[in-house]
Structure 1
Amino acid sequence: MPVSTQVRVGRQAIVDRDLNLVGYELLFRAGGADAANLHSQAEHDAATSQVLTAVLGDFGDRTLSTGSRFFVNLTRAFVVGELPLAPGLEDVVLEITEEIVVDDEVMAGVHRLRDRGFSLAIDDFEGEEHRLPTLPLAQFVKLVLPPADDVFLGDDGRLVNRFDHVEQLISLVREHNSSALIVVERVESLEDFQRCSALGVDLFQGYWVQRPVVHESTSMNPARVSALRLLVALSDLETPTAEIERLVLADPALSFRVLRLASSSAVATLSPVSSVGHAIVLVGRRTLSSWAALTVVGATTGSGGGQGRAALTFVLARAGAVSRLAGDRSQEAYTAGLLSGTAEAMGLSVEELLSTVNVPDSLRGALTQFEGPVGSALAAVLSTEASPAAPAPREASSSPVEAGRAYARALSEAAGLTAMLTS
């Protein structure tokens, strides 16, 4: 299983008549492809999942959002409930696309989405009779402005131009929903904007407004995010065992591994393991932190994956060395080393990794600015490793000789711990 996947999402602005930003439509992009290049329904579902994942945090609010709303296309599977919509998406406008044939199952799904508080948009509406029942449930209806040379058959049977066609669609929408906001897509020129505005269009999207901007980030699956949260919790000695147990139980695979390790010869105990909480006490927080790191860097148990084990050894060695140099802050320092090493092993910046979890200010300062005793210890270890993430040389609390000795001892321990965790 790959450690991470590249998430690429296009973002295109939607503005009102005064050109104020109202929101962004998020568009699937992957390797130069877009949604038009997807063939199977499974590919479309996966693309939707990728975009929704981006909304939930891969990119962070600072990259994609300025407090405006997101518009995201849904596939039928999400509308009817075959695929779940995660909590946290309630502020997103869900677009019911033109490919979805509206039947009883879809209508029931649309009603469920409305009952959950979602805002809905009917995407690329062309007056289709089967889609008319969805109009009263929508807050937005999106129309496509056709190319300049297209002509259409009007209500009276005569040919009309594209603006007359849009005007007829607006009238049809208003008959079924007088309060929905009309969005016109493919606004390519100032004339398009002015003519559509005169027709009563509320919102505008297209190349004249903004060409799509592609953003890219690295996505982690939910198991790795859960493991990162566990790492952060373990860094605080005041975190109660019950909270640690809750985080472990959130990942069934991790729960099983903890129970198995607590019952193994690596943990000396004469009594049977009665619960996950009992197993956590027997295993110890340091070993549990290391196992969480194993989940994040992607070394699979029993797979013989040498690259994964090497990455884990590197992460554990950094964590152990930072911990040795940090004195009475050893547990927090161990976590700092784990998070720093994990980011480097995954090809992420520390800031990107921290965007997925909430960490105490002291730990964030140590990781990003090398502040405090933990930050100073981390800086010394990074310099010893000659890591690209090492800060500029400065006066440190640990000498290069001390840091080198700490790293050598930690590397030896890390090799043994990796062997135990991946056996």
Structure 2
Amino acid sequence: MNTANQETSRDEVIVARQAIYNAQLETIGYELLFRNSDNNSAQFDDSLTATQTLINTSFLELGIEQIVGSALAFINLPSNFVALLPHLPNSLEQSVLEIPITEAPTSATIALLRQLVENGQTIAIDHFCGQPASLPLLKHADYIKVDIQVIEKEKLPSIITMAHDNDCKAIALKVESHQEFEACKELGFDAFQGYFFNHPNLVKKEVKRSNAAVLLKLIERINDPKSTMKDIEQLIAQDVSLSYKLLRYINCATFALRREITSIRDAIIYIGLLQIRQWSTLLVISNAAKGKPKELLVIAMVRAHMCQQLASQTSNINPDEAFTVGLFSVLDAVMDISMEDLLDQLSFTASIKLALIEQSGDLGRLLKEVIHYEKGEWLELGDLQFPIEDYAKRFLEAIFFSEQQLASLEI
């Protein structure tokens, strides 16, 4: 019996949804809710991590179409939502990001929201109260959500008018009775959500995890210049889940193939070793350490693409090496191995190793700048290699690139 397949495990993933209705009681969308148990409740200490898990579960593991069908998916973001931008779904036409109200949204936050809207993202302002500080956010929103149990009744008409004046639809939250539903309709609310209609219901699925040992060995072999195509083909064939994902990836619409690829050898020949290296590393980050935060995978992809695209603007840095540096920058956290020990097993150039261990050299400096920008550490950026506008552009491009790749790989 194949030991690699014996080690493949199964886990259950869970997410809850609560429907949002229009005045005709037609479902227009669902708010997605984090759940980590069968009792339809959520227990977590970190709202950022919980939201990241919710996004990964909904879009990468369950599949958003399995949860909401063709309706909208409303995702409630935490107050520190800027850190979540790299992890947002690429299903722009179907997702609605619920932005929390802050006392004074920064110009950087407004600029990012403006860019998201220009890229096609739908925005909702959560728990809108009509405060002046929130007006800059309202200008970029398609929806506002109003908690009718908190806002005084006499303030509701002006809030609805404010929304409609800015071409926003107003959603009444926490509608708990037929009387409240009728009153909200009379006031002019466009949509409704609450226990009067239904409680959140669970969506569950069992997912298969690939063999981590095989995946790590695959990366070692691919980065070994002595490895042959036959070596790599045999290594992938050891894990059925791994082989299946490769064939699904290569036959997805992204590649627009004229014919279906049905063998591992044909897949490797078609996409090449560079793509195999990138793909297998994604699976290592995703599967090697059960229980690790899945947002590490998104961070790796965002850093890789952002480093690669910035490197393409200069002759001093190899874009492929920049991609590798970004991709491997989180592996020590995933594998619980020091970066030095990890790199001892991989055949990388000295410049890549110095970049990953010390963040030195041209590659290391680029990686450091990308990490500071990703974390919003503006004061740490210092003397940049490129105009600040380039970092913003490449950052948002990397976000959408990462979600496209993850969706193709079905991670």
Q: TM-score, normalised by structure 2?
A: 0.51
> Does the 8 Å CA contact 1:7/1:50 hold for their aligned counterparts?
no
Deviation at 1:87, TM superposition (A): 2.9
2:51 corresponds to 1:48: yes
Aligned match of 1:107 in 90, 107, 110?
110
Shift in CA distance, 62/140, structure 1 to aligned 2, threshold 3 Å: closer
Map Cα deviations across residues 127-177 of structure 1 (whole Å, 9 max, x no partner): 233212111110001101117xxxx7xxxxxxxxx43232232234345x1
8 Å CA contact retained: 1:96, 1:122: yes
* Offset, 1:13: 0.6
Question: Are 1:16 and 2:22 an aligned pair?
Answer: yes
Cα pair distance change 1:217/1:14, threshold 3 Å = same
- Superposed, 1:386-405 pairs within 5 Å as none
How many equivalent residue pairs?
245
* Alpha-carbon distance change, 238 to 100 in structure 1, aligned in 2, over 3 angstroms: farther
Three-state SS of the structure 2 residue aligned to 1:216 is: strand
**In 2, distance between residues paired with 1:71 and 1:255?**
28
Cα deviation per residue 1:303-339 (whole Å; 9 max; x = unaligned)? Answer: xxxxxxxxxxxxxxxxxxxxxxxxxxxxxxxxxxxxx
After superposition, the Cα gap between the structure-2 partners of 1:218 and 1:74, relative to the gap in structure 1 and judged at 3 Å, is farther
Report whether the alignment pairs 1:73 with 2:63: no
User: Residues 10 and 51 from structure 1, CA distance in 2 versus in 1: closer, same or farther, beyond 3 angstroms?
Assistant: same
**Contact 2:18/2:201, CA 8 A, preserved across alignment:** yes
Kindly report which structure 2 residues correspond to 1:203-242, keeping only aligned pairs within 5 A, or say none.
Answer: 203-218=191-206, 228-230=244-246, 236=263, 238-239=266-267, 241-242=269-270
Counterparts of 1:247 and 1:226, CA distance in 2? 15
Matched to 1:112, the amino acid is Q
**From 249, 264, 273, the counterpart of 2:277:** 249
Which of 143, 150, 153 lines up with 1:163 in the alignment? Answer: 153
Contact 2:8 2:209 in 1 (8 A): no
> 1:146 is matched with which residue: 145, 149, 154?
149
Quote the offset at 1:247 in angstroms.
4.3
User: Unaligned stretches of 5+ in structure 1?
Assistant: 153-161, 257-297, 302-354, 359-423
Q: Using the TM superposition, give the Cα deviation of residue 202 of structure 1 relative to its aligned residue in structure 2, in angstroms.
A: 0.4
* 2:138 counterpart (127, 135, 139): 135
Counterparts in 2 of 1:1-400, with a 5 A limit?
A: 6-31=12-37, 32=39, 38-39=44-45, 43-61=46-64, 63-79=66-82, 83-98=86-101, 102-146=105-149, 162-175=152-165, 177=166, 179-218=167-206, 228-230=244-246, 236=263, 238-239=266-267, 241-243=269-271, 245-251=273-279, 253=281
Tell me if structure 1 keeps the 8 A contact 2:247–2:267. Answer: no
Query: Shift in Å at residue 61 of structure 1?
Result: 4.8
Q: What is the CA–CA distance in structure 2 between the aligned matches of 1:100 and 1:141, rounded to whole Å?
A: 16
Q: Do the aligned partners of residues 227 and 114 (structure 1) sit closer, same or farther apart at CA in structure 2, a change above 3 Å counting?
A: farther
1:391 is matched with none
CA contact (8 A) 2:103 2:134 kept: no
Alignment partner of 1:121: what SS? strand
Note closer, same or farther for the CA distance 1:165–1:5 as it changes in structure 2 (3 Å cut).
Answer: farther
Whole-angstrom CA distance in 2 between matches of 1:255 and 1:47: 22
> Aligned partners of 1:254, 1:19: CA distance in 2, in Å?
42
CA distance in 1, matches of 2:200, 2:175: 13
Task: Tell me the distance in 2 between the aligned counterparts of 1:130 and 1:2.
Answer: 51
**Residue identity opposite 2:149 in structure 1:** P
Name the aligned partner's letter for residue 167 of structure 1.
P
Q: Residue 48 of structure 1 contacts residue 75 of structure 1 at CA under 8 Å; is this kept in 2?
A: yes
C-alpha distance 253-133 of structure 1, shift in aligned 2 (>3 A): closer
In the TM superposition, what whole-angstrom CA distance separates every residue of 1:242-280 from its partner, at most 9, and x where no partner exists?
325354222464899xxxxxxxxxxxxxxxxxxxxxxxx
Q: Give the CA deviation at 1:78.
A: 4.1
Residues 177 and 196, structure 2, Cα contact 8 Å, conserved in 1: yes
- CA drift of 1:75 comes to 3.1
- Listed as ranges, the gaps of 5+ residues in structure 2 are 1-6, 216-240, 251-260, 285-333, 338-406
Letter paired with 2:71: S
Deviations along 1:60-103, whole A, 9 cap, x unmatched? Answer: 35531221111001235543666443533452011102368522
How far the C-alpha of 1:12 sits from its partner, in A, is 0.6
Report the 3-state secondary structure (helix = DSSP H, G, I; strand = E; otherwise coil) of the residue aligned with 1:7.
strand
How much identity, in percent, do the aligned residues show? 25
Q: Whole-Å Cα distance in 2 between the matches of residues 65 and 142 of structure 1?
A: 19
Q: By how many angstroms is 1:240 displaced? A: 5.4
Deviation at 1:105, TM superposition (A): 2.4
Give the distance between the partners of 2:9 and 2:49, measured in 1 at CA.
18
Equivalent-residue separation in structure 1 for 2:93 and 2:65 (angstroms): 19
Q: Give the number of the structure with larger relative contact order, counting CA–CA contacts within 8 Å between residues 6 or more apart.
A: 2
Q: Which runs of 4+ in 1 moved over 6 A?
A: 220-227, 298-301, 355-358
Amino acid at match of 1:9: V
Aligned CA distance change for structure 1 residues 174 and 89 (closer, same or farther; 3 Å) = closer
* Distance change (3 Å), C-alpha of 1:28 and 1:81: closer
